[in-house]
C-alpha cells in the first residue's frame, strides 16, 4: 500500500471527488468529522428506507405474500416507507395486545364468563363482591358479615366470590378485576385477528416494491458516501486535501489523473503509526477460502501474514476428519451441485461452491480411508474393508492427530523463521519446532502409552536452549537469557497442550460415527417385521443422519476453524487486527 494525499482548490472539490470515485482505487481517510446538512438529511432518509426494507425482508411478516395480490406502486418513496412502517407498528401493537388478551383469557377462564362492570356498579349501590383465593381449610375463618361462594378449587385452594354489605378486609389474597369479561376478550381477539390479516394484505401489496426500494437504498448509501468524503476533506485556506491509501500498482493511474487535473500529490510509504487497510490478492484456487474469513469476520493486519493457503489446506483436512463419513461427504457434494445449479447464476462470487466441493471431497476420501459410509458398524458386519485399515484403530488416529498438530504448528514457526532470517532470532523459532516435536512424542507416551524415545530429552533440551539464547539476543547476555527463560516459562506447557488439542479431531469425528451407528442399530431393531415397522425404521435413519448432517458443519466451525484461527495463528503471530481495503468507487 502507498499513503497518498491529493491537494486541490476548494472550488474544485466536488468535481475532484467525483473523478476519484470514478477512478475507484483510493481508500479514503476522513480528515475531519463530516457534518454537512446534506449528510444529516441523507442519514435520516437512509434510516427510514433501511427500516422499511428490513421490515419487507422479514421472513415471518412476508410469509404468504403471493404474486396474485394487488400491487401498490408509488411515486414518493418516503410516503411509502412511512406507510410501511405504520403498518408494521400497528400490526406489532395488535399482536402484542392479542397476546395479552390470550393470557388474560387463560388466567380467568376457570372463573367463568362474567361482566366486571356489573360488579363495579353493585359496589356503587353498597353491595361489594371480591374475588379471593382462600385455602379450603380456612373457608370457615372468613368474616361473619360476608357470604362466600366457591367458584372452583385447585390444589386445596378455593377460588371464591366473597359478598358483603360493606368494605371488608378479608385477610386473604384478592384478585384485581379484569377490565372486560371473557366473551368480550374473545370478541376483541377475533376483531384483532381480522385487522391483522387486513394489514398483512396491505403489507403484501407493497412487497413487490422491495427490489425497487433496495435499489434506492443502495443509491442513497453511495450518495451518503460521496458527501462524507466531500465534507471529510481537510481544508487550509483556499486549498483542500484528501488523504488515504492506494495499492502500490495503482500509483501510476492516480498520477496520470493528478497530472491531467493539475492537482498536487504526495505519495509515501505508510509509517508505523498508520492504520493501513489490508488488501489480499490470491489465485482463484486459494481465494476460495475467502468466504470463510468473511463469515467469521476476520482480517489480518497490514503487516501480518496472509495464511490463506495453509488455512485452506488444513481446514480441508480437518473437515474430512470431523465429518469423517464418505456418505455425508457425497451428500454435501450433491447439495453443493444442486445449490450451484439453483442459485449459481444469481451469485457473483462462485468461490463458496468450489470451497464446498473441495471440503466434501476431503470428507469422502477420509470416509473411504477409515471405512465409514453412513456409519461404520454395518460395513464391518458385511465384511467391507477400508482402504487404510490401520485408521480403524483409535490409537493410530489419535497419534495421527498429534502428528497433524505438531506439523501444523511447525509450519507456523518455520514461516516465522524464514521471515526473521538471517537474524539470530530465527534460531529461537527453530527451537520452538524442536519443542513441538518433543511435545508430540510426550503426548504419545503419556496418552497413548507408547515408549518414550531417549533422544526426545535431547531434542527438548536443544529446543529450550535455542529459545533461551536467541529469543532476544542482546549484547548483555544476562538480559538475553532472562528474556529467553521468560519465553520458555510462559510457552513451554502451552506448546504441549496445543499439540494435544488436535485430538479433538478424533473425538468429534468418533462422536459422529457413534451417532450414525446408534441410529442404524435402532432402525435395524425396529424394522424387522411389517410395513409400519419399516417406515418407522426409515424415519429413524433419516432423522439420525439428518442430525449428523446438521451437527457436522457446526463442529467444523467450532473446532476446525479454531485450530487455524487460534492455535496456528497464535504460533505464527497473527492477531487479526486488520481492516479491509474499501476503495471509494462507483458501483
DSSP assignment of 363-402, as one string? HHHHHHHHT-SS-SHHHHHTT---SSGGGGSHHHHHHHHH
Sign of CA dihedral 28, 33, 38, 42: positive
pLDDT at 237: 85
Q: How far is CA 476 from CA 58, 284, 422, in A?
A: 66, 49, 20
Judged by DSSP in three states, 171 sits in coil
Is 362 a member of any domain? no
Q: Is residue 551 part of a domain?
A: no
pLDDT of residue 396: 92
* Rounded Cα distance, 535 and 69, in Å: 41
Q: Indicate if 8 and 92 belong to the same structural domain.
A: no
Q: What is the per-residue pLDDT for 72?
A: 58
Q: Which domain holds residue 269?
A: 1-32+232-277
Angle between helices 326-343 and 308-323 (to 10 degrees): 120
Here the cell at position 490 is 510462559
The answer to whether position 342 is within a domain reads no
The total domain count for the chain is 3
Question: CA distances (Å), 431 to each of 415, 455, 466, 479, 481, in order?
Answer: 13, 15, 5, 19, 14
Q: State the DSSP string of 446-484.
A: HHH-----THHHHHHHHHHHHHHHHSS--SSHHHHHHHH
In a domain, 573, yes or no: no
Q: What is the pLDDT of residue 68?
A: 43
Asked if the structure places residue 385 within a domain, the reply is: no
Do 123 and 249 share a domain, yes or no?
A: no
Torsions phi, psi for 112 (to 5 deg): 85, 175
- What gap in Å lies between CA 549 and CA 205, rounded to an integer? 39
Mean pLDDT of residues grouped by 10 in the chain (587 residues)?
Answer: 92 90 91 84 91 80 53 76 90 91 90 89 89 87 84 89 85 87 91 88 82 90 90 88 92 92 91 90 88 88 90 94 92 92 81 92 94 87 85 91 94 92 89 93 91 89 88 72 78 88 92 90 76 84 90 90 91 89 87
Place of cell 456409519: 375
291 in any annotated domain: no
State residue 411's pLDDT score: 95
The predicted pLDDT at position 342 comes to: 86
Closest alpha carbon to 231 in 506, 445, 49, 17: 17
Strands 239-246 and 27-29: antiparallel
What's the pLDDT score for residue 527?
Answer: 62
Query: HEC profile for 142-154?
Result: CCCCEEEEEEEEE
Residue 243 domain-assigned (yes or no): yes
| Helix (H) or strand (E) run with residue 265 in it | strand 264-268
Cβ distance 142 to 148 under 8 Å? yes
Q: What is the pLDDT of residue 331?
A: 94
Predicted local confidence at residue 440, as pLDDT? 93
Span 446-500, pLDDT tens digits? 999 888 888 988 998 999 888 888 887 765 677 777 777 887 877 888 889 999 9
Residue 532, preceding bond cis, omega within 30 degrees?
no
Phi (first) and psi of residue 161, to 5 degrees: -100, 125
Distance (Å, rounded) from C-alpha 216 to C-alpha 513?
51
- Residue 174 and residue 188 in one domain: no
Distance CA(149)–CA(308), nearest Å, equals: 78
**pLDDT tens digit string along 47-62?**
999 998 888 887 565 5
- Mark whether 195 and 102 lie in a shared domain: yes
CA 570 to chain centre: 22
Determine the pLDDT at residue 32.
86
Burial class (CB in 10 A: 0-12, 13-18, 19+), 177: middle
Q: Are residues 57 and 174 in the same domain?
A: no
Which element (helix H / strand E) includes 4?
A: strand 2-9
Q: Same domain, yes or no, for 99 and 242? A: no
Q: Assess whether 100 and 187 both reside in one domain.
A: yes
User: Closest by alpha carbon to 484, among 573, 440, 441, 424?
Assistant: 424
The long-range contacts involving 134-139, CB below 8 angstroms and separated by at least 24 positions, are 134/158, 134/160, 134/170, 134/172, 138/172
Q: Name residue 268's beta-bridge partners.
A: 3
Contact criterion met (CB below 8 Å) for 480 and 472: yes
d(CA 287, CA 485): 40
The grid cell for 197 is 390479516
Bridge partners (DSSP) of residue 240 are 8, 235
- Give the DSSP H/E element, type plus range, for residue 304: none
Q: Three-state SS string across 168-183, please? A: CCCCCEECCCCCCCHH
- Give the separation between CA 269 and CA 28, rounded to whole angstroms: 16
Whether residues 81 and 168 fall in one domain: no
Tell me, what DSSP letter sits at residue 29? Answer: E
| Residues 125 and 212 both lie in one domain | no
Burial class (CB in 10 A: 0-12, 13-18, 19+), 509: buried
82 and 188 belong to one structural domain: yes
Helix axes 210-231, 13-23, angle to 10 degrees: 120
What 3-state class would DSSP assign to 39? helix
Quote the CA–CA distance of 256 and 265 in Å, as a whole number: 11
Domain match, 122 and 256 both = no
Q: Per the structure block, which three cell numbers stand in for 252?
A: 501510476
What CATH number has the domain bearing residue 252?
3.30.70.120
Give the per-residue pLDDT at 268: 92
148 shares a domain with 5: no
- Whether residue 441 contacts residue 432, with contact meaning beta carbons closer than 8 Å, is answered with no
Instruction: Please check whether residue 26 is in contact with residue 5, taking contact to mean a CB–CB distance below 8 angstroms.
Output: no
Specify whether the CB–CB gap between 31 and 244 falls below 8 A.
no
Q: The C-alpha cell of 77 is what? A: 418513496
Task: Report yes or no on 62 lying in a domain.
Answer: yes
Amino acid at each position: 500500500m502507498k499513503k497518498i494525499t491529493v491537494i486541490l482548490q476548494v472550488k474544485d472539490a466536488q468535481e475532484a471527488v467525483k473523478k476519484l470515485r470514478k477512478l475507484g482505487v483510493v481508500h479514503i481517510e476522513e480528515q475531519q468529522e463530516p457534518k454537512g446538512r446534506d449528510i444529516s438529511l441523507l442519514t435520516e432518509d437512509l434510516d427510514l428506507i433501511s427500516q422499511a426494507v428490513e421490515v419487507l425482508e422479514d421472513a415471518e411478516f412476508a410469509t404468504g405474500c403471493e404474486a396474485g395480490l394487488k400491487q401498490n406502486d408509488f411515486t414518493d418513496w418516503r410516503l411509502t416507507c412511512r406507510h410501511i412502517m405504520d403498518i408494521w407498528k400497528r400490526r406489532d401493537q395488535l399482536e402484542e395486545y392479542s397476546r395479552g388478551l390470550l393470557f388474560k383469557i387463560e388466567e380467568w377462564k376457570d372463573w367463568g364468563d362474567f361482566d366486571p362492570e356489573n360488579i363495579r356498579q353493585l359496589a356503587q349501590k353498597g353491595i361489594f363482591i371480591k374475588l379471593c383465593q382462600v385455602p379450603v381449610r380456612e373457608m370457615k375463618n372468613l368474616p361473619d358479615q360476608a357470604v362466600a361462594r366457591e367458584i372452583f378449587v385447585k390444589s386445596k385452594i378455593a377460588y371464591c366470590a366473597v359478598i358483603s354489605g360493606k368494605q371488608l378486609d378479608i385477610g386473604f389474597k384478592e384478585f384485581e378485576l379484569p377490565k372486560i369479561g371473557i366473551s368480550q376478550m374473545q370478541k376483541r381477539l377475533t376483531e384483532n385477528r381480522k385487522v391483522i390479516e387486513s394489514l398483512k394484505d396491505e403489507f403484501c401489496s407493497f412487497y413487490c416494491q422491495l427490489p425497487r426500494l433496495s435499489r434506492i437504498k443502495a443509491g442513497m448509501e453511495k450518495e451518503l458516501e460521496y458527501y462524507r468524503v466531500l465534507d471529510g476533506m481537510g481544508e487550509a485556506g483556499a486549498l483542500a486535501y484528501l488523504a488515504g491509501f492506494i495499492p502500490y500498482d495503482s500509483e501510476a493511474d492516480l498520477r496520470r489523473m493528478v497530472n491531467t487535473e493539475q492537482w498536487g500529490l504526495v505519495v509515501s510509504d505508510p509509517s508505523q503509526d498508520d492504520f493501513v487497510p489490508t488488501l489480499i490478492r490470491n489465485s482463484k484456487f486459494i481465494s476460495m477460502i475467502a468466504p470463510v474469513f468473511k463469515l467469521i469476520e476476520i482480517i489480518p493486519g497490514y503487516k501480518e501474514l496472509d495464511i490463506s493457503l495453509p488455512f485452506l489446506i488444513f481446514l480441508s483436512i480437518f473437515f474430512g476428519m470431523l465429518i469423517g463419513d464418505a456418505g455425508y461427504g457425497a451428500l454435501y457434494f450433491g447439495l453443493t451441485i444442486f445449490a450451484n445449479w439453483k442459485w449459481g447464476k444469481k451469485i457473483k462470487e462462485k468461490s463458496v461452491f468450489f470451497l464446498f466441493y473441495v471440503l466434501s471431497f476431503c470428507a469422502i476420501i477420509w470416509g473411504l480411508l477409515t471405512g465409514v459410509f453412513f456409519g461404520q458398524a454395518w460395513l464391518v458386519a458385511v465384511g467391507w474393508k477400508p482402504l487404510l485399515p490401520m485408521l480403524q484403530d483409535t490409537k493410530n488416529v489419535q497419534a495421527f492427530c498429534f502428528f497433524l498438530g505438531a506439523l501444523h504448528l511447525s509450519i507456523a514457526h518455520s514461516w516465522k523463521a524464514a521471515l526473521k532470517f538471517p537474524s539470530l532470532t530465527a534460531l529461537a523459532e527453530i527451537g520452538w519446532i524442536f519443542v513441538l516435536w518433543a511435545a508430540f512424542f510426550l503426548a504419545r507416551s503419556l496418552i497413548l502409552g507408547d515408549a518414550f524415545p531417549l533422544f526426545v530429552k535431547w531434542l527438548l533440551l536443544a529446543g529450550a536452549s535455542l529459545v533461551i539464547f536467541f529469543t532476544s539476543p542482546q549484547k548483555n547476555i544476562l538480559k538475553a537469557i532472562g528474556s529467553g527463560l521468560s519465553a520458555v516459562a510462559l510457552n513451554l506447557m502451552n506448546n504441549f497442550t496445543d499439540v494435544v488439542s488436535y485430538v479433538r479431531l478424533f473425538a468429534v469425528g468418533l462422536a459422529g460415527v457413534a451417532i450414525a451407528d446408534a441410529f442404524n442399530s435402532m432402525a435395524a431393531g425396529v424394522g424387522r417385521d411389517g410395513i409400519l415397522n419399516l417406515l418407522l425404521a426409515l424415519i429413524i435413519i433419516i432423522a439420525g443422519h439428518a442430525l449428523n448432517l446438521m451437527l457436522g458443519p457446526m463442529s467444523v466451525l467450532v473446532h476446525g476453524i479454531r485450530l487455524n484461527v487460534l492455535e496456528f495463528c497464535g504460533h505464527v503471530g497473527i492477531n487479526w487486527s486488520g481492516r479491509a481495503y474499501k476503495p471509494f468507487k462507483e458501483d
